Amino acid sequence: MRKKDLHIPQHKTILVTGGAGFIGSHLCERLLKDGNEVICMDNFFTGTKENIRNFLQDPHFELIRSDIVHPVFVEVDEIYNLACPASPIHYQYNPVKTVKTNVMGSINMLGLAKRVKAKILQASTSEVYGNPNVHPQKETYWGNVNPIGIRSCYDEGKRCAETLFFDYHRQNKVRIKVVRIFNTYGPRMHPNDGRVVSNFIVQALKGIDITIYGDGSQTRSFCYVDDMVNGLISMMNTDDEFIGPVNLGNPGEFTIRELAEKVIDLTGSKSKIIYNPLPSDDPERRRPDISLAREKLGWTPGIELESGLKKTIHYFDQILREK
């Protein structure tokens, strides 16, 4: 009598652009743990080899040093398109390149997905909402964005990328997923990326003044990176009918001053808080409505701000001690 065939799970080959970056490296790590073949592509503008050093000897991990503004030819089942500098310091350094990354990069990745019939996820951003007139922000809100400001290369670049994704879906039947990522933090953030969490922690650990831009009353919502990775994978694994966009972020809302005070408390720092002028087009309030993510993905963040900050502080403390 013939034995029944054992069910052998079919693991996927997955491309992660920007895979050596902050969120990308955590995503690569999780996808490898889940038993997949992972191809990481990065030009190392903001990503670092240190972020992926532990994976380099893994036979299921492959690194391609390349820029998504150039076509790439690989055979994959899924693509996570995370490649783009995400902090103002980095994306304003070369704004034309930021637009190219969002537009030309999306065209190249969508073209690849079309050729190999891969499912592709676009990491969009809460910045598509601009300085919102609606609070909290739902996916149905079209945004309030300055198209010619110093942040426009990123904000409008991501908006155009979403347009491309939906047009490739409608015109070419490409299987897409679009997520809008709200402020995310955790280990492997770049210490000099200018983002508020890394800025405050590094300043507090060094005992120097903590810089707040504006009066500190502007609000943000902070999602720990492990929660974000869970959300990205959950979105990729939904059926093809649900394409988004969907907000991913922690709906807990804190003023920037509250964040600074919490970091000072958790680090035991003697840093003082100082205030500088608010940059142009900086959003006054930012908080995701994640009702759609709860309904469609069964996803909700589980790590509270204080717990996540402790892990992030520990990471930066180690980094600064090694210098």
Task: State the residue for tokens 């959950």.
Answer: 234
Catalytic residue, chosen from 154, 168, 185, 224, is 154
Sheet containing 176-181: order of strands: 61-65, 37-42, 13-17, 78-81, 119-125, 176-181, 246-248
Tokens, residue 94: 């070369």
User: Cα separation of 24 and 17, whole Å?
Assistant: 7
Phi and psi, residue 30, nearest 5°:
-65, -40
User: Cα separation of 284 and 130, whole Å?
Assistant: 10
Q: Residue 257 in contact with residue 210, Cβ under 8 Å?
A: no
User: Cα separation of 135 and 220, whole Å?
Assistant: 12
CB-CB neighbours of 65 under 10 Å: 11
315 counts as catalytic: no
How many CA atoms, within 13 angstroms, populate the side-chain half-sphere of residue 18?
A: 23
Q: Length of the chain, please? A: 323
Residue 133 has what DSSP assignment?
S
Beta bridge partners of 276: 213
User: Cα separation of 234 and 236, whole Å?
Assistant: 6
User: Cα separation of 88 and 92, whole Å?
Assistant: 6
Residues with a known catalytic role? 154
